Structure 1
């Protein structure tokens, strides 16, 4: 049976990319001297299908997917599960870091309930797509049923097709969910065949003893459920609703011709999952930063990703990705407005 996420993605305009690369070669600077800024402009030219892509900050859509994880019962987080819904309320009130950054950069912010354990009823501004009151505890049973797994992926498709604005030029996915670094670590361990002790990190601030316990919970679950490397099997057995929704959103965005700016460790676990579900996805992804979470560098390396920043952040919410918006806009402004050697009448031959 085929699934919606296996459908073809939009085509990147390779001609526009080549023309943008040629323009970079004649701007008044030594070739390559702007480093990754040059590649940003070239990528956006291909994504937008024009030699001079437009600035994107006020045409950026940010969606935060919130959900809870049954594995929180195993003591793998430094915070109680109620924090998930309390942070959803904080997002709705505009008090979280991502709210400040979204407002500062004029980016649209959407809050999506993919399945919190506690009710968000009456919280204004939350799009309620809840699958269930959190996933099952994967220490004891698979995190999701087959139908829940597919429904969670489809949340991301729904958000891209029906929630964000039609003229969106860039998508940022954020996440919130107590114990979701445990789920993200389990997903990456399975997909990359890495031992849990090598990938599990501090998450919300665990000490070394608690990190070891977290790794043991992950390792035991992977063995108990005989988790394979097949992405839907991995997602169903140890994934999270918000991790699935993010993966679905990345694929759906690429199907509509919208690139995604990937946030930290959990968002990158979703990107890895999405790339396994849709192998043509990678060229539509831009990686924002390397977080302080232990496993992030390993997963970025597996994706051959070269993130723009490394600020020691590990907040999630899409906050690290939002920090890149002024860098992207600066890259596109330089590409559009710098003079060429011919325009500046600069003699380049000795």
Structure 2
């Protein structure tokens, strides 16, 4: 910023601080030195101001964030499990005793067993189930808290071993049976019933019920609540030999050529017997049945239900154990 003459002594002084002092500078030059010093001070001050202006202002955003409070996780209370209730046994208690059924009276169409109970709900529709005894046969109880009074065979020449269920419990089923408690001359010959252990039988669905109305002169086969009308006129028992009323079931179905009045159509035998006759036609039984007959209108039979060819054909197609309810 100066010339060589001004800078020369100053440079020497820096290089050789121990050198001898030179003569004082001329009197007219000090203002220039002060000017340079002032300019330098201004430059330094300006640089500091610029550096201060270039710093970013301290704001909330640039300030270090305060630490957020730590959130302590609160454990959700576990629901108390509801204990599964123990099922309450329904009906009669279980019976696991063993029995020699061959020592008991056999339930069949010819049997008269005083220990059997008469059906106590004659016009109540059975359940849609039928039972068949396992093994040789199943013990039958009139009272499941007592001893068995008979046994239902697994097979029998005259059938009657597939029986409808009228009540179901946890360990037991109540069923309709063939045979009688007594003959009419000695007691009550109505439809009988008994209890079987579930462990002694095989259960299967019953999908149809036959419903007869004497006063309405109709016979229907009912499946799933839908009725199929199979007869609108038929014959039934006289006042002296009435048709058994109430619920029963199809015991067996067979063609009997010797009975010419059937014209070769099958006879559908029921589990009920005459309420007034101990026997019929020389036999010890008086079984009610559906069958064909040329005379088939009104109260003219010995207790059977006489129907036309179409009706007997459809009735004969039903499985054994199918319930039948005969209404007045």
Identify whether the pair has TM-score above 0.5, normalized to the shorter chain. Answer: no
TM-score, normalisation: structure 1:
0.21
Which of structures 1 and 2 has the larger relative contact order (alpha carbons within 8 angstroms, sep 6+)?
A: 1
- Larger proportion of helix: 1
TM-score, normalisation: structure 2:
0.22
